[in-house]
């Protein structure tokens, strides 16, 4: 239930009734007074109740938090969430005893959850919102791993004078590889293939 039309002897009482039905506070509500009502003669004859429409204000990022908690419980994982919002961007730091299950092999589960979380957020927003999920600082550790991999493969390309193709990666991981080698005078990097199987190629600079 996202909105309720309620009536009462007064606007205030109608609002209180709607808030109770939605189980929200006044701060979470958007209130539209449709009829202020009318007190009749002696408070009886010709009276008309007040009528209000109360809508729950939906915070897209709070919906993401609820979604993550729900999914985690289904997986048998208790998580703690630290949410940081900067305008239309939000980062969710996840922690917990079984957090490795949410990360998955090479972050595949975390990446899938991030994609779904982004869909949830944008379902409740007219503007495009960006959602980033991290767990136990995995993103930073993965970034360092990819940067080291890029350097090792670049050395191999220079040594063998043959290009190397990496495994498919999400766009932000491909960006890490590009950034790690952007200043190289010996190799070039470019992407090939189509999503979700787009991958990086490291080739000798011509």
Q: Which residues contact 83 (CB under 8 A, 6 or more apart)?
A: 61, 65, 90, 91, 92, 93
Q: Which residues contact 68 (CB under 8 A, 6 or more apart)?
A: 79, 81, 92, 94, 113, 117, 133
CA 40 to chain centroid, in Å, comes to 52
When pLDDT is cut at 50, 70 and 90, the band that residue 119 belongs to is very high
Assess contact for 158 and 187: CB atoms under 8 A. Answer: yes
Report the sign of the C-alpha dihedral through residues 104, 139, 94, 122, in that order.
Answer: negative
Domain ranges, residue 175: 140-204
When pLDDT is cut at 50, 70 and 90, the band that residue 126 belongs to is confident
pLDDT for 41: 62
Same domain, 52 and 65: no
Same domain, 10 and 52: yes
pTM over 0.85: no
- Specify the 3-state DSSP secondary structure of 66: helix
Assess contact for 75 and 117: CB atoms under 8 A. Answer: no
Same domain, 52 and 76: no
Q: What is the pLDDT of residues 167-199, one digit of tens each?
A: 998 888 899 999 999 999 999 999 999 887 899
Predicted confidence (pLDDT) at residue 116 exceeds the cutoff of 90: yes
Same domain, 23 and 35: yes
């Amino acid at each position: 239930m996202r909105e309720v039309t309620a009536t009462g002897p007064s606007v205030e009482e109608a609002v209180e009734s709607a808030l109770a039905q939605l189980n929200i506070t006044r701060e979470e509500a958007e209130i539209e007074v449709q009829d202020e009502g009318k007190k009749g003669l002696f408070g009886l004859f010709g009276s008309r109740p007040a009528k209000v429409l109360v809508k729950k204000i939906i915070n897209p990022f709070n919906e993401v938090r609820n979604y993550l908690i729900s999914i985690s419980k289904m997986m048998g994982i208790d998580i703690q969430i630290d949410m940081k919002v900067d305008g239309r961007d939000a980062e969710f730091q996840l922690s917990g005893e079984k957090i490795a299950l949410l990360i998955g092999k090479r972050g595949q589960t975390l990446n899938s959850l991030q994609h779904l979380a982004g869909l949830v957020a944008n379902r409740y927003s007219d503007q495009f919102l960006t959602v980033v999920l991290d767990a136990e600082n995995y993103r930073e550790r993965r970034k360092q791993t990819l940067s080291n991999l890029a350097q090792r493969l670049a050395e191999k390309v220079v040594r063998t004078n043959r290009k190397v193709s990496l495994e498919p990666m999400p766009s932000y991981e491909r960006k890490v590889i590009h950034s790690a080698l952007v200043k190289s005078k010996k190799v070039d990097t470019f992407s090939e293939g189509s999503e979700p199987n787009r991958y990086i190629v490291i080739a000798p600079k011509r």
